Amino acid sequence: MARNDKRFEKVHSQSMGFGSSVEILRDTQTGVCYLWRSGGYAGGLTALLGADGKPVVDPSL
């Protein structure tokens, strides 16, 4: 990986009001998508799962 390449890229961002937001990040090496939820001074990250319970993988990579 080159120095300027980023491992993660933001593919979606949505404000939830009152300082909270939801973002979807994609791992550019594996294609796996993650959900980042933040509000105030707290936040959480988890793999984004499909209806089958498996991680969502972006096939365009």
- 4 class by beta-carbon count within 10 Å (0-12 exposed, 13-18 middle, 19+ buried): exposed
How far apart CA 27 and CA 21 sit, in angstroms, is 19
How far apart CA 24 and CA 46 sit, in angstroms, is 10
Domain assignment present for 59 = no
Mean pLDDT of 9-25: 92
The three-class DSSP label of residue 18 is coil
Domain assignment present for 36 = yes
Q: How many domains does the chain have?
A: 1
pLDDT digits (tens, 9 = 90+) for 20-53: 999 999 999 999 999 999 998 999 999 999 999 9
Q: Model-level pTM?
A: 0.81
Domain assignment present for 13 = yes
- Enclosing domain of residue 34: 8-47
The three-class DSSP label of residue 11 is strand
